[in-house]
Structure 1
Amino acid sequence: MVLFFLLVYFVIITAVIEIFVVLFRCTGLKVEISRFQVISMMTGTGFTTGESELILGHPIRRKLAIFLILFGAFSLAVIISSISQFLSEGLRTKEILAVAVGVLLVFVVLRMSRMQRLLSTLFNRQMKQNVELVDLPVRDVFLSSKKEAVLNLPIYKESSLHNRTIHDVIPGHQGMDFVVLFIQRGGMKLRKDIYGMVLHEGDQLLLFGDKKVLWSAFEHDWRVLEEKRKDEEM
């Protein structure tokens, strides 16, 4: 009977994990990141990874995380007390199975694409209504559309921008759908006269705008970056 209880408990825990993976996905978090962070929060291990910032910086994910942390702590206490009760009095199988079935039903409902779209819409609406812009993660502030991107472009000797300005290389940039947020030069962030500043090897441009426009405007420099990455991998 103890083995049966442990099996049912394992099913419940697995279902809860997958339920919260779905919920985190509905907030825009990737599946692989969601699953690791959910397990980390439930077990109280590994949550200090850099990826945890994606949860700590998001108000809705923080609320889900609070529940998971508490659930992980209480569920351990429940299993210990339940085993003790079984050893002394015996467990009620019907109640245990009812809980397991209920959790599995919730999981099945959340797996429906229609329900996930509904939750995504609901979460986004709550974010817009209840959260100040400064409290939102950078990803949610900038990337409101799949067509938009925030990209980091390093400058190499082979880059078209090397020892030149953006004015020189892209003379019509004023009418194009992108902006340069800043230039990273060593430990400094340069924001003044960005488009007229001569760029050097080692500089990095932080760009924001339409993906297609960014690729078109900086095509040569993106290709140089891809070649450098291939050389490093080899």
Structure 2
Amino acid sequence: MNLFFLFIYFIIITVVIEIHVILFQLTGLKVEVSRFQVISMMTGTGFTTGESELILGHPIRRKLAAFLILFGAFSLAVIISSISNFLTNELNMKEVLSVAGCVLLTFIVLKLAWVQKILSLIFNRKLVYNIELGDMPVRDVFLTDKQDHLLNLRIYEESRLVSKTLGQFIHGYDQMDIAVLFIKRGDLKIRRKLYDTKIHEGDQIFIFGDKRAIIDQFKDDISIMEAKLKTKTI
């Protein structure tokens, strides 16, 4: 009886995983990322990957994640309890089958295209009206197109930008598909007169725009930065 219970409960866990994969997809997350993160949250392993920022930076995904983490902890307790009572008949199989049926029905309903469409509209509407941009991941705010690129350019002494202004370095910058967001100099963030500010060694320039245009304009400095960072990691 207990073996049957464990089998049913593992089915419930599997279906809960698939339900949340669908829900995460409806918030705009890729299916492969969704499945890995759902399993990670439920088991409490692997959630420290860089992709976890896609979950933590999104309010709806955070709520789903909280349920998964709690459900995972509860599931572990249930499995341990079931194994410890392996030779008893204390488990009510009727209740277990009822729960399994409800979870399976939820999964089947969520697989319906019209249900997914309605949920997607609800999720997106909540994002429009209830979310500050600061609550959203960088990818959802800036990188909405395949050609969009956000660069954190670190300036070293070899850089051609040192002691120059961005206006001197980028000719016709007002006609280019590139925007300098701010310059970070230690704890200071410079947001005014960005194209007239002389660049110092150690500055970080945050640049947004077309990926090809950014690479073409800053390719030498990007190469210097990559070489420096690679040396630090060796």
* Counterpart contact for 2:26–2:120, Cα < 8 Å: yes
* Counterpart contact for 2:19–2:110, Cα < 8 Å: no
How far off is 1:204 after superposition?
A: 0.8
How far off is 1:192 after superposition?
A: 2.5
Give structure 2 stretches of 5+ with no counterpart: none
**AA partner of residue 180 (structure 1):** V
Q: How does 1:1-234 map to 2 (within 5 A)?
A: 1-29=1-29, 34=34, 37-39=37-39, 41-42=41-42, 54-72=54-72, 74-75=74-75, 80=81, 87-88=88-89, 91-92=92-93, 96=97, 99=100, 103=104, 106=107, 123-133=123-133, 135-234=135-234
SS at match of 2:181: strand
Task: Using the aligned pairs only, state the percent identity.
Answer: 54
Q: Distance in 1 between matches of 2:215 and 2:115?
A: 36
Structure 2 CA distance for partners of 1:118 and 1:45, relative to 1, 3 Å = same
SS at match of 1:60: helix
Give structure 1 stretches of 5+ with no counterpart: none
SS at match of 1:151: strand
Q: Distance in 2 between matches of 1:164 and 1:215?
A: 19
Structure 2 CA distance for partners of 1:226 and 1:89, relative to 1, 3 Å = closer
Q: Distance in 2 between matches of 1:28 and 1:203?
A: 34
**AA partner of residue 89 (structure 2):** S
Structure 2 CA distance for partners of 1:58 and 1:122, relative to 1, 3 Å = same
How far off is 1:202 after superposition?
A: 1.4
How far off is 1:173 after superposition?
A: 0.6
Deviations 1:22-65 (A, max 9, x none): 43344345677655653564456887888765434322112212
Structure 2 CA distance for partners of 1:46 and 1:219, relative to 1, 3 Å = closer
* Counterpart contact for 1:16–1:107, Cα < 8 Å: no
How far off is 1:115 after superposition?
A: 8.7
Structure 2 CA distance for partners of 1:69 and 1:230, relative to 1, 3 Å = closer
* Corresponding pairs, count: 233
* Counterpart contact for 1:8–1:100, Cα < 8 Å: no
How far off is 1:95 after superposition?
A: 6.0
